[in-house]
Structure 1
């Protein structure tokens, strides 16, 4: 009996030793898994993102770069000449042209924020962009977009006062007032888009660092995160669109009142001059807002549209309006045409 008890005790001891031995890897594995889970809960930012350019059209990158480079060069040169003319010609130191110089500056910044990197991808396959540079690009792309919308609203207000209340135009829109409006545009745009920096930086990126685009934009970067991006989607789409739609409504109201005032003018020459002055601004508004809303609607409902079509359109959107704006104002505005001629005459001398 004693021998049986002793044998049983020895077996139990061996069982305990074996169970302890085999439990070591399990505990170690659990500890390793726990550590991995803790790592996954920390915010991880990749050192670089990889921009693919226009996926699906890689073999056409060199050819696509030619018109893109031409449009970008035209946009930068045209808007630079416009700014130079407005700054140097004292006759153009009026609110309308001050707002136009602000629009030209915004166009240069918008296209310069995106196009040089796209050309570097197309020409040199320079696809890498650092995380901080990507976030900076996201911020400035959306900042310029919201800022340009506000400038177009300010220009509509300028035309409204000039046509509907011409006797008080010089009293209402003085240069200090224009300066305060410019400051308000900058502050408003900055306050709207500054939270985007924190919304992107708070995200952990533990999947891929490849962005199927030629530049960084908010939602495209956020979709790479391994976390809930509901706030990014809500803020990225809703807030800018509400602001832009508000601007569009106010511009529409302004132009409704402007057209009513124009058609009440007794002189046909006065009507023609007023329509000509507002026509260039109206074309600029269409060029800016129509592609904007088309892009949003195709992203929301155009699921059958190929990805490369979306990206190609996004590249054209940041360069075509900046290219066309100085051309439209140069053709439609007599004062600017004359000022440009004077500038080139002075340069030749």
Structure 2
């Protein structure tokens, strides 16, 4: 059972009431060491998921770049092959011409020539042909070597691509195992514990309500950045967290940022770490809607600032997409402004 579905069912009110009772007496009365341990273990598992997921995203990005490089190399190889073939044809033509005159004494050719002066002129020209032939052969060898270098580079790149594809498959298996591990842990909880777990998370950092109404569009934020925020927020009610997804209804954290900015004509890489190098840095007290927020060290999570101390993000497979208080979310590392 998805925990998000539980908390948004008719049972959510009872769970919320449990965590909203004030005072130390209430805290003691509802203390549950088993649930606290489960929460700690879930947090650790989800942190591991996120770290593996970021590594997966970076390898996938490298794989895409590698495939693009192979396409470029193949085009270069085709062009180089044309140069080599043309030089080979020229060399063959010169070699045939020289072969046809081999074995004929130059004195006999001079005596029998109907135009001795022209023959001597041709001999001078043939000397130049020999020089040109040597130059032609040297050029052919150089171009042939360049072709071989390109072919080796393409082979090496294809070998790297094969290794990256295997690494992706391995990382995906690790991610799937962490998801199963988290779900198995949740399944071991009682119904009441699952309700309390969701309600405590919602009370501590999740914001529920009309997402678009929570966006601060009163300031000087870039118009396209505001549209990107609205896109991301519009996906919160029904969007699901899926590793490697970038829309239209399934996203991971960097995939949601990619899709939001893609909707306004801006291209981002599908990696939170790669996204953290784009745009320009922004101080926390200068944040505007549309700024990208980064978490953990090394970075493996990203969200989008909405204004009013809130941000929207694809949190994890257990929580899907949500709007969260920035002040309550751990390990904030900084922000980057993509537009404006």
Q: TM-score range by the shorter chain?
A: under 0.3
Greater RCO (CA < 8 Å, at least 6 residues apart): 1
Greater share of residues in helix: 1
TM-score w.r.t. structure 2 length? 0.25
Q: Which has the larger radius of gyration?
A: 2
